[in-house]
Structure formats: structure tokens, C-alpha cells
Structure 1
């Protein structure tokens, strides 16, 4: 087995492989949560900077597949309607990614854990904001800035994007196309941002590239098996597991 980083033993690498396989499966089955699962799961044993590096290539490749599945024509229409939100998300991902290496390790665990817990609880209680047409434009800028900042620091801007689309009463039939565009372009910005920040470097890119394999295998299994069980119940169980994992990250940050 290649030594991708002196911080990775074969056992820890296999653990990361298994976490990513699970994340890919959930993304294929219900369309969300792969970055959250990878961050909260791998963060149990792996240093935060290496976790952030590890998620980059799997996010880029999986989101490219999501765009391809939704159709490029639909993607173009989604970009035309939501270009303000997409623009500010991409810019803020690039900017926020530059600050990851300046955050102490224990603080980084909190930065990773708090959004995981908060965003999952919001989805569990079913809260959704309501935005009138009058406030749509400022809401797009503010929501995009928050989502992009979270994306640059913690590698996940999917849950804020879902809340954004719900607030605008986006038809369910077009939500997947819009999400595909936002996730796809955002993941490219994440890649560029962490190439610039130094998180993705000669010691970490191999680890991230290797995790593409379990991510794609998991997605394939999710596509094949996702319609064989109650998706809403599976979604809620996944969210509760993420809450527990996120609380553990916060605990590590607070207790050192």
C-alpha cells in the first residue's frame, strides 16, 4: 500500500476507505451527505487538515457525475436562474479555503463539528425559511456567502444549498439540476482553493485520489439499492448518526 502520508497507517487508510464507501452509498441512495459523512467519520481518527484534503477529489468527481445525470441542458437553465448564488458560493469557497491552515487543530474540530450538528438538526426538525420575491436578491447574496464560507472551511455547502432552494420554493423536479450545478462548480473551486492553500499537496493528493474509488463504488451501490428501502427513514437515521459523529468532533475540539 502506498504511503500517502506519514500520518496514515494501513489500518487508518482502510478506515477512511470504509467511511468514504458509506458516504458514496448514501449520496447514491438519497442524493446528499457524502461530505458530511466523510468529515464526521474520518475526523474520528484523522487530523482535520488531512480530512479536508481527503474529501476534495471524491467531491469533485461525484458532483461531476451528478451534473451529468441531471443533464447539461437542465444545468444551463439552473445556472441562468441562480447565477448570483452560484457566483458568491464559488468566490467564498476560494477565499475561505485560504484560512484553513491558520486554524488550530482543536478549533478545526469544532469548525467541522458544529455545522454537521446544526445542519442535520435543522433538517431533522423540518425547518425551512420562507423568502418573498422582494427579498430574493439580498437573500441570494447572504445565503451564498454563508454557504461558500462553510464550504471553504469544512468542505460542505450542500445542506445550506438545500435550505436556500426550499426557501425559494424551488420545484422538486428542478432541485436536483440546481444542486448539481452548485455542487459541481463549487467542488472545482474547492479543488482550486486547496491547491492554493497548500492543503492539497504532494503528501495529500494521493490520499484524496485513492478515496475516489470507494466513493464511486458506494454511489453505484446506492443507485442500485436505493429504491429497495424507505428513503425517508434511511435519511433520518443517517442524519442522527451524523449528529452523534458531529458531537464527537466538538467534544474532541473542546477537550483536546
Structure 2
């Protein structure tokens, strides 16, 4: 089990180091092959928290972003408390199907989203809605991707602001997920924080390797293969849960 977890987080960290995203999605997708989504989410907490903090505080002006995006963050918190979706560990079939659907959507978005429309003019009312859906899907799948990532990219932020804004949203979602998992334990499924700490090292090593790979392999080619893989893998998870495979 330890070797499997180390391998998963090394791969996920490498992908994040190469293209700047994908650690939660890849980790959850691979881990749920052998363990439940609830248990996989508990292993994700420490590596996600550390890498998200790294991403958030790599540059300054964090308070400025908090003042701007507090409606989004509040929506994430509310969504994680009152989710409209079946939550992790409480309806396992739905959680795995939702996770597969999220991975497939994430892959399709990465493959086909070229020029995002500028939604900055609608930010005031869109932020709490996007935040709520992001928080609700976080406690349902263990992954915050859709719709938070496309939404923030649609605001046409400067590169550094976008990276930090994603880190802010990811950090908030990870904290909410950790609180949810602690308050809603599942019988006979332990919350293995020790294993989560063990997973941190291979994730960081993987990120370091990924940064080296970034300069050797064309990023666009790597991204295309990665997102195609997510579509195929996510689609398989959905069809498998529906009993079609």
C-alpha cells in the first residue's frame, strides 16, 4: 500500500511540476482504483495543503486577492457545508461516478478551451455561484476543478494573479475538505493522516522532477497527452459505475 501511494503522488507531483496543475485530479483518479474515494481524499489533504500554500504565497498581494475574491471563497465554504451532491463516503457509487465525470470534464476543458470569454464584468454575482458549486463538488469528489478553474481563467487575470488566485481557491477548498472529512467519518474507513504525510515527500520530489521535464518536453504536447488521458480514464470510471463496463 505504501509503495502504491508513493508512486501515485510521485506521478501526480511530476505532472503538477510540468504543467502547473493536476495533482488532486490525478491522485484521486489513481487512488480510487484500489481504495474508496473517502479514503483517497484523506491521503490527499497534506500534499494538497502544502503545495497549495506554496502556490499561494510564492508571490505577494495575498490580502489584495482575498479582498477581491471573498465572495468566491465564502461560496466554497457554504458549498462544502450544504452540498447539493452526494458526498464522499455517503453514497460511494455516486461519488465515484461524479469523480469520473469531473475528470472527463477537466480533460475536455483542457483540450478544447482556447480563448475563454471575459466574464470580469459579471464577477460580482458569478463568484458566489461558482464558489458554491466548487465547494459542493469538492466534498462530493475530493477535487476542486470544475467550475472554479475555468471561471478564474475567464476573468483574464495577469499570470501571477491567476496562479495565486487558484492557490487561494485550492487552499480554501482543501481546508473545507479536511474539516468535512473530520466531521463526517465513515465507519470502517480510517483517516490515515500518517500516510498523508508520507505522500508529501514523493509529491514534492515529483514536482521537482516535473520542473526538469518541463524544459525537455514541449509543454503543449505533454498537456495534450495528459488531458486525453483524463478524458479516457474519467469516462471509464463513469461507465464502470453505471455497469456498462
Q: Normalization by structure 1: what TM-score? A: 0.84
Q: 1:226 aligns with which of 214, 220, 241?
A: 214
1:59 equivalent in structure 2:
48
**C-alpha separation between the residues in 1 aligned to 2:61 and 2:215?**
24
2:143 is aligned to 156
Map of 1:235 onto structure 2:
223
SS of the residue 2:21 aligns to: coil
What is aligned with 1:4? none
Does structure 1 residue 31 correspond to structure 2 residue 28? no
Cα deviation, residue 251, structure 1: 2.6
Partner of 2:32: 43
Q: CA RMSD in A?
A: 2.3
- Structure 1: runs of 5+ lacking an equivalent: 1-9
Structure 2 unpaired stretches of 5+ = none
Residues 106-126 of structure 1, C-alpha deviations (whole Å, 9 max, x = no match) = 222201101110122122111
Shift of 1:98: 9.0
Q: Secondary structure at the match of 1:170?
A: coil
Paired with 1:165 and 1:223, the residues of 2 have a C-alpha distance of 24
Using structure 2 for the length normalisation, give the TM-score: 0.88
What is the CA distance between 1:250 and its match in structure 2? 1.2
**Aligned pairs for 1:1-256 within 5 A:** 10=1, 13-69=2-58, 71=59, 73-96=60-83, 99-103=87-91, 105-126=92-113, 128-131=116-119, 133=121, 135-198=122-185, 202-255=190-243
Moved over 4 A (4+): 199-203
Deviation of the 1:203 alpha carbon: 4.7
Deviation at 1:45, TM superposition (A): 2.1
For residue 77 of structure 1, report the CA deviation from its aligned partner: 1.7
CA distance in 1 between partners of 2:226 and 2:143 (Å): 16
Q: C-alpha deviations, 1:228-251, integer Å up to 9, x for none?
A: 321122112111111122122113
Task: Give the number of the structure whose residues are more often helix, by fraction.
Answer: 1
CA displacement, residues 189-210 of structure 1 (integer Å, 9 cap, x when unaligned) = 2212211112597552223222
Q: How far is 1:220 from its partner?
A: 1.9
1:3 aligned residue: none
**Matched positions, count:** 241
Q: Deviations over 1:170-224 (max 9, x none)?
A: 2224211211221122212221221111259755222322211211111122233
**Is the Cα contact below 8 Å between 1:89 and 1:149 reproduced in 2?**
yes
1:55/1:141 CA distance change after superposition, 3 Å? same
CA distance in 2 between counterparts of 1:48 and 1:243 reads 19
- Contact preservation (8 Å) 2:87, 2:141: no
